[in-house]
Structure 1
Amino acid sequence: MARLPPLSSMEAFLEVARHGTVKAAALELGLSMPALSRRIQTLEHAIGRPLFNRHHHGLSLTEAGRELQGQLWPILDDLRSVIEKASSPDATLRLRLNILPLFAQQRLFPRLPELRRAHPELHIDIETLSHAEARLGDGIDAAITLARSIDPALYAARLDQDKVFPIAARTLDDGERPITVPEQLQRVTILLHREMPETFLEWKKAVGMPWLEPAATDYFDSGPLMLEAAAQGIGVAFMHGHHFDDAHDPRLVRLFDHDVDSPYSYWFVCRPRALRQPAVKLFHDWLLAAKI
């Protein structure tokens, strides 16, 4: 029976395939670039074919590399699950969940006590790092993400469909120079979330003002900080209607009466095989049934 190549070389291959460069993958794994390259070469030698096309601006998968990536990801996912079960022989279920802070604060955490009462065996590790979809199966089991669409290779369940609200400090609405019409956005800064960069673009097209340009645009990677910046009068935040409603902040107001559908939705996302993991399946079923 042929010997398997080292597991470390398989993990190295998947990281390089995910990042597209040896440098980024080496940084992720805490290895030197030569050490990572040697692991890739070990795997290529075992398979007998190159897995990457190497060019001056990075790497791209060969046909053999793409085939191996698709087959290897789920196998390593299952192996991680086996190791986790072996290291936790009690009845505890643990979910590694990536989630945006504002969704967690406004929608998930208020409902977690009922989940804990119903399933005290389930424990959830929370992280809020970006690029969640790329990290599924490698550090996280599932994610609640904000996107226009999801990679069809992943399992995804849409959690909502919302409206876009311009949200501002009450002082901008009833101060000395109140903002009462969209044209006045030309003299203010607008605030956009990095996960929703086209929100204002879609909003201004929907209201029939594609030419409208604000004085400036500031980007945030935190929804709670966006709301606080808007409340402090730093700018007008373009966010979802429930972000405004669930904030219950008397300092904030919705500007204008335009009813504009958001191009973005919250999604529950995981690798298809992850739904076979008890913790993922339990949380998924509860989340959809609870209509959070």
Structure 2
Amino acid sequence: MDWRSLPPLSSLRAFAAYAETGNLTAAADALGVSHPAISQHIRALEAHFGTALMIRGGRSMTLTPEGEMLARAAQEGFGLMIQAAQALTGYDQDRPLHITATPSFAAAWLMPRLAEFRDLHPDVGIMINPTPHIVTLEPGGVDVAIRHGTGGWAGLDEEMLIASPLVLVGAPSLARKLIGKPYTEFANVPWLEEIGRTEAQNWLEARGANLTRQGPVLRVPGNLLLDGARDGQGLAVTVRCFVEADLAADRLMLLDQADLEGAGYYVVTRPGAMRAPLKAFVKWIKRAAAEAHGEPSS
């Protein structure tokens, strides 16, 4: 590593603070320095790199492409340093553990098991955000995400919890009518889909059919999706691990399965040091998943 190529850390810190706040005064307040000091640090960086980092026009200033590149790197680097410093000093240990997961995972898998973690760690406060949307993991915000996919979330650490593909299921009364039929026939029957998700539409489109032109769709919260499927209210695309017991008991029938390499639920965190409550939760959920489903193969 060529340490001599780096500009003064104080100048990088001032620039990162400006990039974060978008305002010289706010950046100065955040660092406890004067307004002119921030400007001086930014000009020192421009002199060091021999290029403009900001476009100055009257009262407004915007970052140049070079400035944006440096800002991203500086903010990421300082974010990791702040995270490590907080972990080392015990700062933020009492903040509730903030978990985000899909409503289906939160209702069907996490909540039935969470009492065990709370018994083991009664001093850890917990906040769960059940949402079908991908939530950004930021220092001081969401600590950990449980995401379904094939991995590859840029800039984050991930580890598979449960290897489990997406499947298409339906109650026997509905599913038996479709065995051996082309997917164009599937589009004519009722479907269930989680609010905010498009699995049903994506599933049909990938197989040459189009849900929007034909069969009715009932959109429900994720925790109600399988209840509706068991009642025969429609076909549903879900994760196989949620319906193994239903398939074994003939409450649901398997119509199709998407065998994608690496498909499953992952525990996703920011890189760097973890605060103690997060470290305890990750250790616990990995063990709970292994006990329930076995060690994932990927």
TM-score range, shorter chain: 0.5 to 0.7
Paired letter, 1:181: G
SS in 2 for 1:288: helix
| Residues 55-78 of structure 1: per-residue CA shift (max 9 Å, x gap) | xxx987622122212212223434
* 1:1-292 alignment, distance < 5 Å: 10=17, 13-14=19-20, 37-38=22-23, 42=27, 45=39, 46-48=41-43, 62-78=68-84, 85=90, 94-129=96-131, 131-173=133-175, 178-183=177-182, 184-193=185-194, 197=198, 201=202, 210-214=207-211, 215-216=214-215, 218=217, 222-231=221-230, 233-245=232-244, 252-256=251-255, 258-262=256-260, 264-275=263-274, 277-290=275-288, 291=290
The runs of 5 or more residues in structure 2 that have no matched partner are 1-7, 29-37, 47-51, 57-61, 293-298
Contact 1:192 1:217 in 2 (8 A): no
Q: 194-203 vs 118-127, which deviates more?
A: 194-203
- What RMSD over aligned residues (CA atoms) do the two structures have, in Å? 4.4
Contact 1:147 1:265 in 2 (8 A): yes
Offset at residue 138 of structure 1 (A): 4.3
Offset at residue 172 of structure 1 (A): 1.9
Mapped partners of 1:260, 1:166: distance in 2: 9
Mapped partners of 1:132, 1:204: distance in 2: 22
Paired letter, 2:280: L
Aligned pair in 2 of structure 1 residues 271, 51: CA closer, same or farther (>3 Å)? farther
Contact 2:137 2:270 in 1 (8 A): no
Offset at residue 282 of structure 1 (A): 1.2
Contact 1:162 1:262 in 2 (8 A): no
Paired letter, 1:287: I
Paired letter, 1:38: N
Offset at residue 198 of structure 1 (A): 5.8
Equivalent residues, number: 253
SS in 1 for 2:285: helix
Mapped partners of 1:72, 1:220: distance in 2: 42
Mapped partners of 1:253, 1:74: distance in 2: 46
Offset at residue 267 of structure 1 (A): 0.8
SS in 1 for 2:266: strand
Paired letter, 1:68: A
| Residues 225-260 of structure 1: per-residue CA shift (max 9 Å, x gap) | 33244345553111112222367998952243x454
Offset at residue 269 of structure 1 (A): 0.7
Contact 1:136 1:142 in 2 (8 A): no
Mapped partners of 2:111, 2:143: distance in 1: 19
Offset at residue 287 of structure 1 (A): 1.5
Paired letter, 1:238: V
SS in 1 for 2:153: coil
Mapped partners of 1:125, 1:104: distance in 2: 12
Offset at residue 262 of structure 1 (A): 4.8
Mapped partners of 1:155, 1:144: distance in 2: 12
SS in 2 for 1:110: helix
Contact 1:167 1:236 in 2 (8 A): yes
Mapped partners of 1:96, 1:239: distance in 2: 25
Offset at residue 278 of structure 1 (A): 1.1
Contact 1:191 1:220 in 2 (8 A): yes
Paired letter, 2:286: L
TM-score by length of 2: 0.64
Mapped partners of 2:77, 2:216: distance in 1: 43
Contact 1:145 1:267 in 2 (8 A): yes
Aligned pair in 2 of structure 1 residues 130, 259: CA closer, same or farther (>3 Å)? closer
Mapped partners of 1:151, 1:219: distance in 2: 30
Give the share of equivalent positions with the same residue, in percent.
20
Paired letter, 2:236: A
Paired letter, 2:268: V
SS in 2 for 1:134: coil
